[in-house]
Structure 1
Amino acid sequence: MNGGARMSENKIVLIKRKTRLEELVVRYNTIQQAQFYIERLGADFSDYISEDLNYRKAVETAVIELSAVGRVQLLERQHVPNFIFGDEDTVVVLGQDGLVANTLKYLREQPLIGVNPDPQRWDGVLLPFTVKDLRLLLPDVFRGRREVREVTLAKAELNDGQSLYGVNDLFIGRKTHVSARYLLQLSGTAEQQSSSGIIVSTGMGSTGWLRSVLAGAAGIARSAAGIGLAGSVAAAGLAGADAEGRLAWDHPHLYFTVREPFPSRTTSAGLVFGQIGSDQPLRIISQMPEDGVIFSDGVESDFLEFNSGVEAVISLAEKKGRLVV
């Protein structure tokens, strides 16, 4: 498709990230100083250079391919939380998977295309396309001819009006992951707790943090009781999980787990795992004088403060993520 045939009315937002090399240069000011630091640790600096070159080439190629079919705006990862996406925008993310998840939660159901910039380096579960696919792919997306998979999101909403979405999971606890105090409420049951935090997971996040926590819990129970509990997510009680413990991306429930709950004279450890549905939100009232936080998808720098007296309602989000496949 030549420039004269470009679909100029279609706006495409291309999301990119800093490479490891770029982050090192920011930290150490020059490539030479970054190289000295890496090689002093015994690491291979040429791998950093190779990754950077491949990613830069992927960005350049993506811009060329996308410019043939629409208007392209290049956006750095750190600007995504404050960027206002248009309702008709199409979003292209030059991965890894984490960048896809951390972009999806800021969209209002605009279609997102995950692109693998370096298939030899990254597997990319959420990156089904390469930069060479874009010129043929985008016109089909504009016309609604590509399959789009919906993704259930989690939402944390505070009583001061602030909110945060999660694609894989939410973490509620202390910034340093030490003991957090709070009141937990679900379906008419309330419990004072002290723990190292609460994890709320979506269907997409069922194979991540949630799987790790539940597999560990099952292993502890098996060793302690001497009985043959399976250590998979499916065996841990997730309705609808497949044989490998995976839930569908559009699974209609969230699951919460309490990490390392500590029972005492004033705290309990009964309400430590459960399901959150559309008519069954989880309510948490913070009793942490400082360092209480809620963050999503492992991005600790993008958080809500969650200190004493603040109430959070954890529920299914009112919007869905939409991934082009």
Structure 2
Amino acid sequence: MSLAPRVVLVHRTTEYEELVARHGTHGQAAFFLSSRGRDIRELAERHRRTRRALAEVASAVPLTWRQTRVERADLDRFLFAPEDVVVVVGQDGLVANVAKYLSGQPVLGVDADPDRNPGVLVRHRPREAAALLPAVPDPGTGVEELTMVEAVADDTQRLVALNEIYLGAPGHQTARYRLCLDGDRGVVEAQASSGVLVGTGTGATGWLRSVWQDRGRALRLPGPAEDRLLWFVREAWPSPATGTSLVAGELPATGTLSLTIESERLVAFGDGMETDAVDLTWGQTIRVGVCRERLRLVG
């Protein structure tokens, strides 16, 4: 007998909860904000909307199914099972945060605050969950398979992201490396920059788009399901030892962008998850390209 599906409700701590945790009580948090000309009531109301959405989705889970919850900060320690149905209750970025930990499980994005979220990845309202959830495990349920980006280091460390991967210094220092396009057979250039950004079509709605608007309009933005990535070097610095000729481009499905580290420490992280980064040091090489896996997002 097969196991009943398990719904994993993914959420994140609200700004209100973070403030109260920092200051101890609602009153102290309110005083802190009021001393800076802000009112805590707006944050408290957003907190209530988020909690209501989470409760409504939880109550919509079929009674014969199992369910559990995981907070964003605990994703790297949570073990997803093959039969899981992942329901993200929050904002678009939370779908990206969970994507790297999945291996084909369907994801249903529920918008907890439609007035603030674009709804690119959290496409559904809490009230729709009761009708949507029973059909999600059905192979015939419509899902969109979104392209992801991966980075693999020469010591087997691996990083996957839905929006983008950033490679650079952990602080504001200059990142030094040798950039090679299309692996060992390509052109190599020593660079000093603020880092390298490699993004997908889904990422083209966020950080990647802001860089593209500033520098790369000659390149066509990829679609969310297209096996093509864009990459940009941020603020490359020309010098007698470093160049700026390879600063932007696209990677097809078989393309590879490689960085060989020439700094004491660089990091690679995806979708803003800096706490779950790949650490790199002198002489290491990391290769970035289209990931074979996809995020299966319920439409």
The interval holding the TM-score normalised by the smaller chain is: over 0.9
Query: Is 1:135 aligned with 2:130?
Result: yes
Deviation per CA, 1:83-128: give whole Å up to 9, x if none.
1111111100001011011111211011000001232443322111
Query: Is 1:74 aligned with 2:69?
Result: yes
Query: Is 1:258 aligned with 2:225?
Result: no
Match of 1:55 among 46, 50, 59: 50
SS at match of 1:14: strand
User: Where in structure 2 are the equivalents of 1:1-325 lying within 5 Å?
Assistant: 9-68=4-63, 70-187=65-182, 188-217=186-215, 235-238=217-220, 241=221, 247-290=222-265, 292-325=266-299
Structure 2: any 5+ residue segments left out of the alignment?
none
Letter in 2 for 1:289: E
In the alignment, the residues of structure 1 paired with residue 233 and residue 133 of structure 2 have an alpha-carbon distance, to the nearest angstrom, of 42
Letter in 2 for 1:166: A
In the alignment, the residues of structure 1 paired with residue 13 and residue 212 of structure 2 have an alpha-carbon distance, to the nearest angstrom, of 33
Report if aligned partners of 2:30, 2:39 keep a CA contact under 8 Å in 1. Answer: no
SS at match of 1:183: strand
TM-score after normalising by structure 2: 0.94
Q: CA RMSD in A?
A: 1.7
Letter in 2 for 1:194: A
Letter in 2 for 1:141: V
In the alignment, the residues of structure 2 paired with residue 32 and residue 259 of structure 1 have an alpha-carbon distance, to the nearest angstrom, of 43
Letter in 1 for 2:246: L
TM-score after normalising by structure 1: 0.86
In the alignment, the residues of structure 1 paired with residue 31 and residue 229 of structure 2 have an alpha-carbon distance, to the nearest angstrom, of 46
Structure 1 residue runs of 4+, over 6 Å off? none
**CA 1:132/1:36 → structure 2, altered by over 3 Å: closer, same or farther?**
same
Structure 1: any 5+ residue segments left out of the alignment?
1-6, 218-232, 242-246
Q: CA deviation at 1:255?
A: 1.3
In the alignment, the residues of structure 1 paired with residue 237 and residue 88 of structure 2 have an alpha-carbon distance, to the nearest angstrom, of 41
In the alignment, the residues of structure 2 paired with residue 8 and residue 138 of structure 1 have an alpha-carbon distance, to the nearest angstrom, of 16
SS at match of 1:135: helix
Identity between Structure 1 and Structure 2 (%): 36
SS at match of 1:288: coil
> Which structure: larger Rg?
1
Letter in 1 for 2:196: I
In the alignment, the residues of structure 1 paired with residue 191 and residue 116 of structure 2 have an alpha-carbon distance, to the nearest angstrom, of 43
Count residues in correspondence: 295
In the alignment, the residues of structure 1 paired with residue 11 and residue 290 of structure 2 have an alpha-carbon distance, to the nearest angstrom, of 28
In the alignment, the residues of structure 2 paired with residue 319 and residue 254 of structure 1 have an alpha-carbon distance, to the nearest angstrom, of 14
In the alignment, the residues of structure 1 paired with residue 243 and residue 286 of structure 2 have an alpha-carbon distance, to the nearest angstrom, of 20
Report if aligned partners of 1:69, 1:138 keep a CA contact under 8 Å in 2. Answer: no
Report if aligned partners of 2:92, 2:117 keep a CA contact under 8 Å in 1. Answer: no
